[in-house]
Structure formats: C-alpha cells, structure tokens
Structure 1
Amino acid sequence: MRYIFLGFLFPIGLTCWQTRVFAMESQAPSPLHHTLASESTDENFYTQASHIIQQHLDLIARIEQALVNPDANRLRAVRGQLTSQMKATEGFLQRQHPVAKVLCNSPDIASAPEQFTKSQLTIYCSLYGSSQELWKLAPVLDRGLSRRGELTLVRKLPLVSGEHQSDPILSIAPVQRPRLNEPATPFAIWEANLAGKFSDDSDHSTLPIIGRVGKTAIANYNPPIQPAIAPPETALTILANAKQLLSNALVSFPSDYQFRDAQTTAASLDRFTYSLDPQEGQTYARFLQLPRTGIFRVLAASAYERPLNTVWNRLQPSVSERYPFPALKDAQGSFKPSLALKLVGDRFQMQHLGVDYSFMVDLGDIPLEKLDQQLQAVASPTREFFLNYQPPKQLENLQVDRRRFLTGKDQNWNLNRIILTDATAQLNHTYLVRSLQFQLPEIILHGQLVPAEKRRYLDELQQVRSSDMLIAFRPVRRRNDGSYTVLWRVVRELPAPQILDL
C-alpha cells in the first residue's frame, strides 16, 4: 500500500509541476507586453501627479486670497485644506518611492530608481519640495487666524457631518453644520446710512460744504475704521518658493497635459466684470484714431461703493483703482481731470468730489464726429448756454451753482428747460457734458490753520488747479448687468476757472 500510495502521488506532482511551469511561461512578459505595461505606468504617474499639482496651484491661489481677506472663515478653510492636501501628497510620494527625502536630496541623479525617467524624477522631487514648503505655512495661518479673531467671530466648529445643537424648547435638537463658505460674523461695526438724512435729493446730500462748518447727519458719529491687512513676508516667501518648484514640474509634463492658473482665471473674470472686452477697441479703432478720444465701460455706482456693515481690507485696491476713469488731459502734478461717469439708477451722472460739478444734456442720435468746437449741430439755446456759462469766482457762489445743477432748483438760466447734472441713459444717444473740476488745497478742504513758520508759503499753499471742458460721450453697447460701453471725445477745452476768495 505504501508503494502504491507513492506511485499515485508522483503523477499528480508531476502534473502540478508541469502546470506551474506552463503558467510561468505563459505569464512571462514579452517585449511588447513590457512596453505596454511601462507606458501604462508612465501614464498613471503623470495623471496622478498632474491632479495633485493642480490642487497645489489652486490651494496656493486660495491661500493668497485668504491672507489679505479679513474673513476668518477663509483662513480656517485653507488651513484645513492645507492639511488634507499635504496628506494626499505624502501618500502619492510614498507609493512612488518609500523615502522621498533621500531620493530628492541625492546629488547623483544616476542613482535614481529605474522606474523613474528624468522628467518623472523632476516632477516627483518638485512636488516633494513644494509640499515641504507649503507645510511651513501651517503656523503662519494659525497666527493669522488668531488675528482675524479681532475682526470677526471665530467660534468652535461642529463636526463636518454635523452635531446636534441642544435646544431647551424644541423636542428634536437641530443639526448644526460648519459653513466655512459663508463669511464669518463681524463684530460691532454698525455704520449709519447717511444718504438722504436732510435732503430729498438723496444721491447728493452727502456732498461736503467747503469753507464753513456744516451740520452733520448724526452728532458725534465716527464711522468705523476698516482694517489694513498686509500678508506676512514669511508667507509670501514660502508661496513664491512653492510656485517656483511647481513651475519646474510643469515644464516636465508631456505636451498634452494642460494646467489652469487660478490667478489668471480670477484676473480674467475681474476684467470681464468691470472692464472692456478685448475686441471692443478693435471695433471702434477708426474713431479712436481721432485726437482726445477714448472708450471705457460705465459701471453702476454701487460697483465703486463698499456695502455697509461689512469688513474690508483697506489696503486692497478698489474697483476705481484697478480700472480708473479715463484721463481727459495730461496730469498737472497730482491733479488729473477725468471722465468720472457712473450709472445712478438708470441715469448717467458724473462723480463730484470737493467743489467739482458738471451738467449734461441728451442731444439725441447725433454722431460724435459731427460735434465741433462751436457746437453747430446743437440747438441754439442749449449751444449758447454750454458755450457761454461762466462759473462763479467765489467759493460759496460756486457751491450754490453746483447745488442748482444737482437739484434743478432756483435755476435762472433764461432757458425753457432745466439743466441737470445727470440724464436718462439711452443707447446710441449722444450726451454733451460741461465738466468743471478743481483741486483745492488741503488747508481749505479740511479747514486747517497755517502755522506761523509756513505763512511765507501761503500763496503756494492756496494754489488751485482747475479745468473746464466740453465733453461728448455716446453709449454704443449695453450689457446684461446694465453697464454701458461708451465712446467719448473732448470737444473743447475752455479757460481754467479761478477761485479768488480763498
């Protein structure tokens, strides 16, 4: 029985051995199979690496925005995203090579593992270096979050999945979830809406009265000062180093891999929201070849205003600073006459600072090219008034005239119509504007006393720069948001007005 048993096992063992050898031979990779496997591995590496690098680029853009934003929730969000992203990057690096630090710090590139090509090694080590740099931001973000607690409410966050909030009345406690996509609640920064406190003309009631003390809307009211937030130099250095390392990785990818730049996208969206389209300048290139002409986008007045009871970083450039009004002539020192045109409701209106004022009229469908310095295409009463109006030379009378144009009251121009500082917006209509702009000295604007040691420079301190121009503009396009693209032209420059009683 013993020999029979062994003889029975031998054929089975032989058969199993032959089967195993056949299987090994059938699984032995041919050169073609090895090439396909290698290509599949390379593609998998580039795909995973490209996703992680894109996430790094997006995270860097969000961190840069959070560093200058007073909202505490922005910083809390990117702080958590930093931890999550770095852990995902660490997992990818370990799957490719167990010790990234040793591999990337080796001075001998030839000692790199065989599974890495030169491009892959560059990408791998650039990703490792950028992740090491970004990890340094963790304490910087923590410090920034503690400072944001001075501006907005930073409360304990519930779990991501939500937590039951105890309620003494409701039998079923509501579930509270973190909402970092919403702005944090600011502390007491109540701001009064001063529009229309003492005047039916709410759009112009806040104009200051220069030269004398005026009544304030609310006694002893001082609006809150907005914070000035500058990003830490340490954070800027870290982000610059990380972006430089990632840029080294981007050029090592195959040409069919594309990456989006969040900063470029944000800048494009900002231009789309507030600026002209690129083709508009080409469309009207023939008109723009004329002297002292231009094209710009007229926005609603709300685009230039900060909403009440919100916290803003006053160091960040505003819309008017990013997209300034077009200059009407060369600057005279700090005096820059401009076409400060806005939409207030459905009406075009110039922005008036200090004692600036203007008046305008709708001429109808008259081409801009037909307007000459003598305004021959304009009806006689209107033409004579726009050409012959003389601004007062006394500061108080100047402000009286300004109020007449702003309100339409007490006008004695011997006209059969009221001349206002605004006009209803109509597409393909031409508007004529007489714009008077002044740069008053600081001692007059703020009622400052001149020290005895500076009285020898009194004439220079009281110097006034001014301009008086006839301008025509024509809206040629209206967007869905209500803004207009307008063509403008300086028709005539009149003698600069003077103020003699400063």
Structure 2
Amino acid sequence: MKYTFFSFLLPFCLLANFEQAFAAEAESQSSPDSSQKSSQVESFDAVSEKLVNRQVNLIYRIQKALSNPDPNKMRAVGGQLITHTIVVESFLKRQYPKPQALCNQNPSENASVGFIAPLSPSSSKIYCSLYNSSRELSKLTPILDRLLSRRGELAIVRELPLVSGEKQSDLVLPMSPVSRPNLGKLATPHAILEPSVESNASLIIGKRKKRAIVNYVPPVQPAIKPPSEAIKILKNAEQLLAAAISVFPDQNNVQNLKKIEAKFDHLVYDVDLQEKQTYRKLLLMPNTGIFRVLPHQAYLRPLNTVENRSQKNVLDRYPFPVLGKPKGKFTPNLPLQIVNGKFQLLSQGVDYSFMADIGDIPLENLDSNLRTVDTQERNILVNYQPPSKLGELLTEKRKIITGKHQNLNVDAKLNNTYLVRNLQFQLPEIIAKNQIISRKQRRYIDQLLQMQSSDVIVAFRPVRRHSDGSYTVTWRMLQELKDPQIEDLEDYLKFQK
C-alpha cells in the first residue's frame, strides 16, 4: 500500500527515531562478514519485537476509540495507524523488497518460481505475521474517517495545526487567537455548562418532584456500538500478530496495554489477593465477604463530559456485595460508599437503612442475636418494625435522611465494627414510573403489583484505608428478616379513562 499523500505529513522526529533504529541493520546488510550477519539477525529480532509490541497496543487503542465518544481519541488513532503502517512497510522492505513473494500462502507456487527465503524460518514467520497484520489494519482507515465525522456530532472537532508550524489566522476575525487542539485531552462537548443538578427528576409516587431548574432537560448520553466490520478486522489483525509473538524467546517482553490497564483498574477499585488471604479464615464462614468501599465520586459522571452509556461503569465492573439469594431480577445488596469521610448507604427509591458504630468487636464474635451489642442499639436494629404503607415508608425514609429518626451515616474508623439494618424494595414498574394501566391490563392487576423486598442485618468492619480515601471492608450477614410488605400499592394505580 502506498501513502504518497500522507508521507509529507509524518512528524519527522518519528521517522528519524526509526531510521536510527534501522541504521545499524543497514550497515550489517552491506558487510560481507559473517559476524555482521549475526548482528543483522539480532537487529531484526529487536526491531521487529518493538514493532509487534507497538502494533499490539495500537490495536487496543483503536478498540477503545471505537467505543469512546471523544473525537480526539478517534482522530489520534487514525493518525497513529497511518504513521505506524508506513514505518512497518519501510522496515519490511529493508529486509526484503518483495513481501508478497515471501509471504505467499501457496508454497507450491513459490517453489515453481525458484523462490528462496532470505530469512530464517522463525524470522520469516515474524516478518509475514507483521506484514499480514499491518495490511489487515490498514483496512480500518476509511472506517475511522467515517466514524470521526459521526463523533463530530457529540463534541467540537477543531482544525489541526499546520505541519510546518506557521501560524494561521482566522478568516473572519484575523486578530483573534487560533485555538490549537491537543489530542491528548478531551474534546469540548457541544452541550457545555451543564448545571450541578440531578441528572433526572426523581419520582415521588403519584407525582413528579419539582425540578431545580425550570424546563431544564439534561443531555442524553450516547449509546455507541462499534461497527462489526471494524471488530472483525481488529480480531483478524490480533490473531495474525499472535503468530509473531509465539516465536519470540521471551513473550513477556511484549507489554500489552490492555492487560496493564486491567491490572491498574483492579488496583484502584478492587481488593488485592493478599487481603483475601489475610482474612481467609473469616471468608470461609457462610454469608461473609470482602470488598472495596469507594468514595461516592467514583460512581458519578463528571459534569460537561460525554460518555458511552453502553459501556460498563465502575459499579457495573465492581458491583456491591450481594446479601442473600437473588429473587428474580431483584438482588439485595450492601450499597456502601464514602461521603465526606463517613460511611453511607446509597439510598434509591423507597430503600432506607439504620447504621450504628458498635466499637472494636471482631466480626467472628458476633451472633445473630447480637448479644455482644449494647441493649439500646440492639433494640433499634432488631425490634424495629417497618411501616406497611407506602406513604409511611417514604415519611420514615425522610426522617432518617434528615437525622430526625436515626443517623444514616457514621464516621469511618479503622478496626471498628458497624451494624446495618438494611431495607430494600423493588416496587412494581407501573408504580415506580407512574404508568397508566390500559383496559386490557386490568385483568392482570395481581401480577402487575407483584413486588420483591429484603430486610437484613449485616455487620461490616473497615480493615484498611487507601490513599484515595477508599476502605477495604470485611462483612458478615447476621440475620435475614421477614420480607417487608406494602399493603396499599393498589391505591397508587392510574387507570386509563
């Protein structure tokens, strides 16, 4: 493939670096000494390994850009693909000027023309693997160009500065400064100056909550699915490159960004293996576990940014611990987070909870009757009876949130044990979304009003504080109480007139 049009656009420093890498190799080719031939083989192995490593990571960056709404990411990998392809072709032609003949898939055809491989079998395998993979990747160029134009619908795509570095004035306002884009930063989204308000109006049963800003409609985050043709090309290129990696003496030298980022993500949001080994004795007990309690900011989307809502967020990758057995689509959990240095349970819908700090009591010493807990705290946690009417439940929740009933959150302290009475409800969709029941649906009222709920007492104990303010926490479920019921859901139905 020829890149006559783009060749003069390449950064000269990039090509210069590769030229230096190939200089020793070129000298070895011109020398008849056998020791120089050994040097040539070493140079080929070193440079080809570097190119394979870069191509592996380029494939991963393209995979990420295909799902990223930021046009700067798409434009960056598009340019990297062009420059990398040219550098690979230049290197391969230095080794042998006819890669099509060397990498011919038909050995009988090669034999008929008296073809003699200029490289050793292992080097030829690396050569052809790199060549075929690079050719496969080059098919992505028109696809990336097309996707870049679509990304321009989400964020501003600014003109790139001229290659030679001279300044270019604005045609309309010659005196105004020209904004130079930085592809390493996020592009400016079209929906800017997003106010710090709730992303959607939370529903109070029977009516909508008053909006903080009249008639404000928050921007809808895009759902981006990578084209199947692009995924297929990347998969083929990756498989072709695997043949070269298998030949390298030490395959660990190929640093895969995908694996590195996965380890870093695990380090930031999850517990490590050593912590699980440390508390192995506790984790062997039933209804126990260990997880990382994160600051609540980890679950929030930064304002004035665009994200792909189809991609897994932090909560999808590292969900809250499950308490008990899932009940259909309803999964009781422990939605614990850190807010301003305090432990707090994420409250959604009608859910609410009580929390108490009972001091330095190991989880192993607790029992289901809470005999080691102070009498007053035990009575609040064990003897509390939740209301059976929806309006009273919402009133109870407001009292807890405002501190009129019982503190919802407590200061986070290491090696203290906390007890939680956690009540969770999965209201019927027709109630939670204020849906109107059609005439045909009226015969299925009983099925439409089915709900799931959970009421548990769980203890947790922070055992390590991390530099980012998160905590490693061990937990143990002590009691699973009778599922609370709501008796007046039928009063909130809306029928079609």
Does the 8 A contact of 2:201 with 2:208 survive in 1? Answer: no
Offset at residue 399 of structure 1 (A): 0.6
Q: Taking structure 1 as reference, are residues 160 and 358 closer, same or farther at Cα in structure 2, changes over 3 Å only?
A: farther
Tell whether 2:323 aligns with 1:320. no
Q: Which amino acid aligns with 1:309?
A: N
Tell whether 2:488 aligns with 1:498. no
Distance 1:67 1:241 in 2: 16
CA RMSD of aligned residues (A): 2.3
Q: Where do 1:98-497 residues align within 5 Å?
A: 98-105=97-104, 107-108=106-107, 113-160=116-163, 162-164=165-167, 166=169, 177-194=180-197, 208-255=203-250, 258-409=253-404, 411=405, 419-497=406-484
Q: Taking structure 1 as reference, are residues 364 and 257 closer, same or farther at Cα in structure 2, changes over 3 Å only?
A: closer
Offset at residue 224 of structure 1 (A): 1.0
Distance 2:70 2:128 in 1: 35
Where 1:105 maps in the other structure, the secondary structure is coil
Where 1:224 maps in the other structure, the secondary structure is coil
Does the 8 A contact of 2:224 with 2:308 survive in 1? Answer: yes
Offset at residue 155 of structure 1 (A): 2.0
Q: Where do 1:35-74 residues align within 5 Å?
A: 36-74=35-73
Distance 1:330 1:292 in 2: 10
Does the 8 A contact of 1:362 with 1:423 survive in 2? Answer: yes
Distance 1:278 1:481 in 2: 19
Deviates more, 1:154-163 or 1:134-143: 154-163
Residue by residue, what CA displacement relative to the aligned partner does 1:56-95 show, whole Å, maximum 9, x if unpaired?
1111111111111111111111111111000000101110
Offset at residue 493 of structure 1 (A): 1.1
In the alignment, structure 1 segments of 5+ residues that lack a partner are 1-27, 198-204, 412-418
Offset at residue 106 of structure 1 (A): 5.3
Q: Taking structure 1 as reference, are residues 426 and 161 closer, same or farther at Cα in structure 2, changes over 3 Å only?
A: farther
Offset at residue 154 of structure 1 (A): 1.1
In the alignment, structure 2 segments of 5+ residues that lack a partner are 1-30, 490-497
Residue by residue, what CA displacement relative to the aligned partner does 1:254-310 show, whole Å, maximum 9, x if unpaired?
347721111111111111111111211111000001110000000011101111121
Offset at residue 393 of structure 1 (A): 0.5
Deviates more, 1:264-273 or 1:100-109: 100-109
Distance 1:379 1:158 in 2: 69
Q: Taking structure 1 as reference, are residues 468 and 118 closer, same or farther at Cα in structure 2, changes over 3 Å only?
A: same
Distance 1:124 1:186 in 2: 43
Q: Which amino acid aligns with 2:235?
A: A
Offset at residue 115 of structure 1 (A): 3.3
1:81 — aligned with what? 80
Offset at residue 96 of structure 1 (A): 0.8
The alignment's TM-score, normalised by the length of structure 2, stands at: 0.87
Q: Which amino acid aligns with 2:229?
A: T
Does the 8 A contact of 1:472 with 1:490 survive in 2? Answer: yes
Distance 1:114 1:39 in 2: 17
Offset at residue 166 of structure 1 (A): 4.0
Deviates more, 1:231-240 or 1:104-113: 104-113
Q: Where do 1:2-13 residues align within 5 Å?
A: none
Distance 1:310 1:498 in 2: 41
Does the 8 A contact of 2:62 with 2:77 survive in 1? Answer: yes
Where 1:492 maps in the other structure, the secondary structure is strand
Distance 1:275 1:159 in 2: 45
Residue by residue, what CA displacement relative to the aligned partner does 1:9-30 show, whole Å, maximum 9, x if unpaired?
xxxxxxxxxxxxxxxxxxx97x
Offset at residue 207 of structure 1 (A): 5.8
Deviates more, 1:213-222 or 1:449-458: 213-222
Does the 8 A contact of 1:165 with 1:176 survive in 2? Answer: no
The alignment's TM-score, normalised by the length of structure 1, stands at: 0.86
Where 1:89 maps in the other structure, the secondary structure is helix
Amino-acid identity (%): 50
Residue by residue, what CA displacement relative to the aligned partner does 1:334-380 show, whole Å, maximum 9, x if unpaired?
01000110011101111111100001011111111122111111111
Distance 1:272 1:256 in 2: 24
Distance 2:163 2:483 in 1: 65
Q: Which amino acid aligns with 1:341?
A: L
Count the aligned residue pairs: 454
Q: Taking structure 1 as reference, are residues 173 and 349 closer, same or farther at Cα in structure 2, changes over 3 Å only?
A: closer
Distance 1:262 1:187 in 2: 31
Where 1:47 maps in the other structure, the secondary structure is helix
